[in-house]
Amino acid sequence: MQIRRFIDSHTEGEPTRVLLGDNNAPFSTTLPDILARWTQRGRLVIPPEMLALAANPRAADATVCALVCAPSNIHSACGVLFWNATGPLGMCGHATIGLARTLAWAGYDLPHVATFETRVGEVRVQSLPDGSIGFTNVASYVHARDVEVVLEQGGVVRGDIAWGGNWFFIVRHDGRGATGKSGRSMRSHADELAYANSIAQGVASAKLRGGLENDGVIDHVALIFQASRGDAHARNFVLCPNGTFDRSPCGTGTSALLASLATRCELAPSEEWRQESAIGSLFRASYATVEGQPRFIPGSNPAALHVIPRIEGRAFIVADGRIVVDQGDPSRRGGWIEEA
């Protein structure tokens, strides 16, 4: 596959790089065909020259690439595969918003509600009158609640394992509702990065897994703090699998949190939740219960309640360019590893 075009944007601070074919067309291959081509022994492996497009020296290290594929059915606008510098993501909320903004910038005439196919399900995207973009995510749910993780440096944290299009270990420090703890505000990015990494290590050492989706790999940690903005309910710090933190409030992380809030009766269907990010940007969010399911009944199995999150945020185009592959460049296949 020859990638030539890219358009970079950020969604509430978090970068997305959309990859397109010639003349801004989607690649002629459908998402199921790309997944089949890139799956080795049951595992999706993003080719190194593709990973390199989301990494230094070509991109900021928090970048998520979104490869736009031909739709595989008549009702969807396109397929999209997301990855960061270390590998594939399931869904990516900020990059979905970035993709919708990018396709409009590139001249696509998307329907009022456009369907994007992702490897974990379909999402529906809508441009809103105030210029922001909203999407309804894949069904999200809590796999396990109040799971204890022992930290290597000592101490134990308790969190929920929840699916929002990726698997999250959610640790609450916001002091709201059912947490039963006094809250705190976010410390420095470096402090929270070290803390989130220690939790990720604890999750890995305990061999914790989520449910069936994405083989149950819990590759994100979401720390939830008291908000610093008066118009937000909570602030988060989300550790991504590439070791960076999400500058946006994280669409899939907010989705996983909505599922958790729903099972704790802290947020009713359709009620608005405003999620502040590590850098102070904001997503507006709410959920509906999956058709036929009532709101959560205390005492019932949390994993039985599936919610459909809706997330809204803004994206801005920052670059529009062409990828150059110099055959003499040792980094063209991401071959340079930077020592920490």
Q: Where on the chain is the footprint of ligand PYC (CB under 6 A)? A: 14, 64, 89, 92-94, 166, 240, 246, 248, 250-252
- Residues 6 or more apart whose Cβ sits within 8 Å of residue 232: 274, 275, 276, 282
Known catalytic residue: 250?
Answer: yes
Q: State which residue, 14 or 276, has the beta carbon closest to ligand PYC.
A: 14
CA–CA distances in Å: residue 219 to residues 207, 237, 262, 307? 12, 14, 22, 21
Q: State which residue, 252 or 289, has the beta carbon closest to ligand PYC.
A: 252
> From the CB of 14, what's the least distance to ligand PYC, in Å?
6
Task: Respond yes or no on whether the N-terminal peptide bond of residue 71 is cis (omega within 30° of 0).
Answer: no
> From the CB of 301, what's the least distance to ligand PYC, in Å?
26
**Which is catalytic among the residues 69, 78, 92, 240?**
92
Q: State which residue, 21 or 93, has the beta carbon closest to ligand PYC.
A: 93
> From the CB of 247, what's the least distance to ligand PYC, in Å?
9
**Residue keyed to tokens 């959920």:** 287
Residue 10's Cβ-side half-sphere holds a number of Cα atoms within 13 Å equal to 13
Q: State which residue, 70 or 259, has the beta carbon closest to ligand PYC.
A: 259
Q: Residue type at 94?
A: H
User: Strand (E) positions, the chain?
Assistant: 5-11, 14-20, 27-30, 39-40, 43-44, 64-70, 78-84, 87-88, 113-118, 121-127, 133-136, 141-150, 156-163, 167-173, 218-225, 234-239, 273-276, 282-289, 307-313, 315-322
Report d(CA 296, CA 335) in Å as an integer. 49
> From the CB of 292, what's the least distance to ligand PYC, in Å?
27
- The answer to whether the CB of 125 falls within 8 A of the CB of 111 is no
Known catalytic residue: 92?
Answer: yes
> From the CB of 258, what's the least distance to ligand PYC, in Å?
13
User: Strand (E) positions, 190-263?
Assistant: 218-225, 234-239
Q: State which residue, 14 or 174, has the beta carbon closest to ligand PYC.
A: 14
Strands 64-70 and 27-30, by their bridges, are parallel
Would you please indicate which residues are annotated as catalytic (active-site) residues?
Answer: 92, 250
